[in-house]
Amino acid sequence: MKNLPLDLECPVQYALNVFGGKWKVLIIHQLQDQTLRFSELKRAISGVTQKMLTSQLRELENDELVKRVVYPQVPPKVEYSLTPFGKTLIPVMDCLCQWGETYKNHKLQTARAEVTI
């Protein structure tokens, strides 16, 4: 997370500095119901580069939203899951998904209406 004062007045700004951005939200969405390996996350999130996924996972881990478990085996096995505090974002993600579906339907209806004009 960027170095923000803990007394930042706007809680929305504070929250968005922790989990905002294109990739973090998608990572949290993928991990909300399951534990995944790095390669599984990369496949599930279209367009993310290995470098960006690594960076975003590290930030989420540093912010205590994602837990990384390394298993001592060959080849190495690393799994990612939400921490208990990270799971507090699930209702937020559910609302975001519902809003996204509503907005998508709105845009589709608007586009259809423009075609028939």
- What is the DSSP track for 16-67? HHHH-SHHHHHHHHHHSS--EEHHHHHHHSTT--HHHHHHHHHHHHHTTSEE
Segments forming the whole domain that contains residue 20: 11-116
Residue 63 lies in a domain: yes
pLDDT digits (tens, 9 = 90+) for 74-102: 888 999 999 999 999 999 999 999 999 99
Number of domains composing the chain: 1
We report the CATH number of the domain holding residue 38 as 1.10.10.10
Residue 43 lies in a domain: yes
pTM flag (> 0.85) = no
pLDDT digits (tens, 9 = 90+) for 99-113: 999 999 999 988 888
pLDDT digits (tens, 9 = 90+) for 23-37: 999 999 999 999 999
